[in-house]
Structure 1
Amino acid sequence: MSDAKYSSLASSDQVVWGRVLALHAYVERRLSQTLQRRHGIGLSEYRALEDLSRTVDGELRMQELADRIGLSQSSVSRLVGRLSAAGYALKDLCPADKRGVYAVITEDGRERFAEARATYAEVLSSALNTAGADPLLASTVQSLRTSA
């Protein structure tokens, strides 16, 4: 591949990626602000509760939860600490391996997630609609929605 062709592909990829990042930042900001204001939880807390609520037994190893929501293990440990202080989750030791620590959703956590889920869906849709009206982001939003 020629340098000129590679350079134009890289530039095109960078433009597209820049639009994805701009869309992501806009949507995440709207979700985060609204979840905090209406439900008293941040976006990471919401995602942790969502992942925990989707498991059969309501628990995940801390490392698995960290991987799912894109945080380091120390960050997810602090996050679960905040959820625990609010009564939405707790930490539990693995009975077979005392080094294994699990995050476990509580009944209050399930209720908080259920309350916040409708807000999340509403704000996500609204944010994508607003971004879809922006000429720079319209094609990115359309691509996301048609690939689903």
Structure 2
Amino acid sequence: MSAADVEIEDRVWNEVVTLFGRVEHRLAKALQRGHGIGLSEFRALCRLAHSGEGELRMQELADLIGLNQSSVSRLVARLESAGLTRRDMCPKDRRGVYTIITEEGRALQERAAPTYRQELADALDDAAADPCLGSLVTGLRGMFAVH
């Protein structure tokens, strides 16, 4: 790879990191302000709500939302304390622990989802207007045909 290619990759990666940080910050702020829930909690509820039975093994949830095992354990403990999930043992493997979304958790996820989607669209629209990030957002939207 040439030095010019490395420089382009570095610039693009820095733009991705900047875009990610801006969007994550806005999403987290909107979810906390509007629904009293953090971004990781919302993502966990989404994954659980859209899983077949509303349940996932703890390690699977950790992998899906990009957390390590100890972080997902603390996250699930917070969700349980709020009545949004509950834990259960795997009937086939007593070492396996599942987290299961409750009706209250489903209701909160459904109420918060429009806020998340709107804030995501607004954050990307704002980033598209930024001369430093506009081409990145345009490219990402083009890849996923989101307009």
Q: Does 1:47 align with 2:36?
A: no
| Equivalent in 115, 118, 127 of residue 119 of structure 1 | 115
Q: Does 1:137 align with 2:133?
A: yes
Equivalent pairs, count: 144
Percent of aligned pairs sharing the same letter: 53
Q: Residues 35-64 of structure 1: CA distance to partner in whole angstroms, max 9, x if unpaired?
A: 011101100000000000001200000000
Q: Which residue of 2 aligns with 1:74?
A: 70
What SS does the corresponding residue of 1:120 show, helix, strand or coil? Answer: helix
Instruction: Find runs of 4+ consecutive structure 1 residues off by over 6 angstroms.
Output: none
Q: Residues 99-129 of structure 1: CA distance to partner in whole angstroms, max 9, x if unpaired?
A: 1000100000000000000000000000000
Instruction: Please show how residues 77-96 of structure 1 align to structure 2 within 5 Å.
Output: 77-96=73-92
Distance in structure 1 (CA, Å) of the matches to 2:36 and 2:85 = 15
Instruction: Please show how residues 20-35 of structure 1 align to structure 2 within 5 Å.
Output: 20-35=16-31
Q: Which residue of 2 aligns with 1:147?
A: 143
TM-score (norm. length: structure 1):
0.96
TM-aligned CA deviation for residue 97 of structure 1: 1.0
Q: Which residue of 1 aligns with 2:106?
A: 110
TM-aligned CA deviation for residue 7 of structure 1: 1.4
The amino acid across from 1:133 in the alignment is: A
Distance in structure 1 (CA, Å) of the matches to 2:92 and 2:30 = 40
TM-aligned CA deviation for residue 91 of structure 1: 1.1
The amino acid across from 1:97 in the alignment is: D
What SS does the corresponding residue of 1:56 show, helix, strand or coil? Answer: coil
Instruction: Please show how residues 55-66 of structure 1 align to structure 2 within 5 Å.
Output: 55-66=51-62
**For structure 2, which runs of at least 5 residues remain unmatched after alignment?**
none
What SS does the corresponding residue of 1:134 show, helix, strand or coil? Answer: coil
What SS does the corresponding residue of 2:95 show, helix, strand or coil? Answer: coil
The amino acid across from 2:92 in the alignment is: A
TM-score (norm. length: structure 2):
0.96
